[in-house]
Amino acid sequence: MPPFYLTTPIYYVNDLPHIGHIFTTIVADTLARYRRMAGDDVRFLTGSDEHGQNIERAAAREGITPLALADRVVARYHELWKTFSISHDDFIRTTEPRHERGVLELIRRIDAAGDLYLAKHEGWYCSPCELFYTEKELSPGQKCPVHGSAVEWHSEENVFFRLSKYQQPILDWIDANPEAIRPETRRNEVRSFVEQGLRELSVSRTELAWGIPFPGYPGHTVYVWLDALANYITALGFGADPRSESAAGHDATGSNKGSNAAGSAKSSTAELTPVGSDKAAAAPATARGARGGVDPADPSSLYRAFWNDEENAATRLHLMGKDILRFHAVYWPAFLMSAGLPLPTKVWAHGWWLRDAKKMSKSVGNVVRPDDLVARFGPDALRYYLLREMVFGQDANFSDEAFVDRFNSDLANDLGNTASRLVTLSRQIFDGKTPPKSCDDNPLVPVAHQVVADYRAAMDNLAFQEALRALWRLLAEANQYLVVRQPWKMIKTGGATDALSHILWNGLESVRIVATGLLPFMPTVARQVLAAVGTRVAPESLDALQWGGTPTSALLPELAPLFPRIDKEKFMSESHPVTPAPAVASEQPAAHPAAATAAVSSASAATGVSAPAAAPSPSTPALVEVSIDQFFATELKVGTVKLAERVPKSDKLVRLLVDLGEETLRQLVAGIGKAYTPEELMGRQVVVVANLKPAKLMGVESRGMVLAATDADGKPILVRPHADGAPNGTRVK
């Protein structure tokens, strides 16, 4: 069992958690569950960052102590993690004695390397980031490049870390380990940042009481990022004396049982045990992630097993949002190099969840809290949406409408209806049991083999969206398999034949494989689906993804709707009521648009201030700018048309089967029938939007869209590669 150490960032407790925090933790949980099924010895850590100026100020505004504020917010995190079935093994709080002990040991080693000195520091400081920025790094108007808030000039005497000393070692580490920083775009950003030159880093503050006192420098408090980053090893027992008690003021639940260095009172937080909905998640923290050789009486043995292992076989993976990548990919490795400790094996920075094209943040006021969606549709539906909607590593836009569409299309229609149809037919004809005869020789078997291979490859690469798309490909093939064979008609004419038994068993087996693959994503619902199709005990190994696992003649319970379809119009009207804008009386008639534009331009020229762009005329659609991440979220692929035929009762629609380099042909419906005959389309290469949500046109499902331009008469003109062509499946960028 290879050791696999997985961490989320520790979350700041100056405000309640929102979708951004939840997403990173759900990603980590999904990966942890998958790696456990793959046979790894997983240690999954999350926690809370409780020191620093922001917490101190937030607590002062409420008239409470910083620890009281932290206790309250941490309790909310534990409630949420229980709701979302997060299966973490440990929850670290930076106010715990075990953490302070490890921070002090890390600083002792850095100091012994000669990398600390005292000097005056001044510059532009962002309080939310707790970071100094150079003039060049600031946004226009001297604003923080992350939060957009005003920065303040700050000057004080600090302890400094010789960061520049590690510029070349960090570059060497990046070059020697191409997979150490992911995705590649972020790796390139980090390398460019380091190449430009690293400045010495201030690692203490003097105008702050809430934190760990800096050893050897009275009046100084440890800089919150040096404090916080150390959690990844302090939670494993780094700095602990093997001869001391294993608890040392800390119990296995992550509760804070002592006082922090600033002399705060004992934490009031009760036993905060990480609990999930399944048996594995509910187990005590010491029951999992306890690799051979870990000694419960030695609090530092976890550190040796999962971070400083002698065989150097451990995976040490940090997950975080891209806004804190620099801390994890530059400062943290430099601290570790200075202390003579192993570096993380991989730092993965995902994109942001956006709302109204802006990153969700408390300061902007656009955060999404999940309470209403979870209350109405359950936590697993939200887990699925977040992991299906975002290309991991890129930004994604959170939308209630997109959530409803994904719920109705993927969950209610594809998964829910397929399972319901198969269970209902099997119960009806086989006395409430699974079909008595299985079938290992049918067209779904090779599809399932390829889907499982694609799923595992995607999961190994943290391509969660691709993994889910692979599973849904098997669902689509199973549906097509049923539509062609029409078992509902066979029941009326032939009864419980061997052929019918094979067809229904094959369908149930396909759903079982999909549900097994969904266990890391939707731990509660996936178990419900497995039970519904006759698998009573959820598998704990990826071996269960192989074809042949559905039992014969097993009892099938009567199936309640797994995903009741959402009335989208009603939901949107309830969630986003439309209030008519009040009429505004105008004292003068509206000016002609050209006149208004001229007036604005004249004013701009006179004042030297750039004018806002004039509103487009009704006949000219507004240009919507997208980021490069948003553009790359669209998958454009080259494909060859293998079959083309007109859709019945339509002179415009053409049904296409296109080879996109996938295991099976992709069915598309294109409105190009008036410009192209089916014969003209056969063998032609086209460009396809491959990750478009499925839609039905005239009752025919379309799983993508063919790109075409439109001439002056509205006639479509197909976009196609160069005459020399390109391999099917080639991405268009």
The whole-angstrom separation of Cα 397 and Cα 406 is 14
Strands (E), 399-457: none
Residues 6+ apart with CB under 8 A from 452: 513, 517, 545, 546
**Which residue among 143, 165, 346, 362 is the active-site one?**
362
Catalytic residue status for 576: no
* Residue from 21, 82, 99, 250 carrying the catalytic annotation: 21
Distance CA 161, CA 201 (A): 5
Of the listed 121, 359, 502, 637, which one is catalytic?
A: 359
Active-site annotation holds for 439 = no
Determine if residue 72 is left, alpha or beta; phi over 0 gives left, psi from -120 to 50 gives alpha, anything else beta: alpha
Query: Residue 3 carries which side chain, given as an amino acid letter?
Result: P
Angle formed at CA 133 by CA 127 and CA 135, multiple of 5 degrees: 130
Query: Which position among 126, 250, 439, 502 bears the catalytic label?
Result: 126
Single-letter code of the amino acid located at 209: A
Catalytic residue check, 568: no
Q: Which two tokens stand for residue 411?
A: 């969950």
The closest of 238, 254, 318, 241 to 286, measured between CA atoms, is 254
Contact 673, 652 (CB under 8 A): yes
DSSP 347-387: EEEE-PEEETTEE--TTTT-----HHHHHHH-HHHHHHHHH
> What is the SS3 string spanning 206-235?
CCCCCCCECCCCCCCEECHHHHHHCHHHHC
Question: Could you say which DSSP state residue 330 is in?
Answer: I
Residue tagged active-site, from 18, 88, 121, 220: 18
Q: Which of 88, 129, 328, 439 is catalytic?
A: 129
Q: How far apart are CA 678 and CA 676, in angstroms?
A: 7
What are the φ/ψ torsions at residue 49 (nearest 5 degrees)? Answer: -100, 110
Q: Has 147 been annotated as catalytic?
A: yes
Annotation marks residue 21 as catalytic: yes
**DSSP code, position 198:** P
Q: Which of 78, 82, 147, 637 is catalytic?
A: 147
CB neighbour class for 166 (10 Å; exposed up to 12, middle 13-18, buried from 19) = buried
- Residues with Cβ within 8 Å of 169's Cβ and at least 6 positions away in sequence, in order, are 334, 337
Residue 423 CA neighbour count, 13 Å, CB half: 25
**Looking at 82, 121, 144, 439, which residue is catalytic?**
144
Which active-site residues does the annotation give? 18, 21, 126, 129, 144, 147, 359, 362
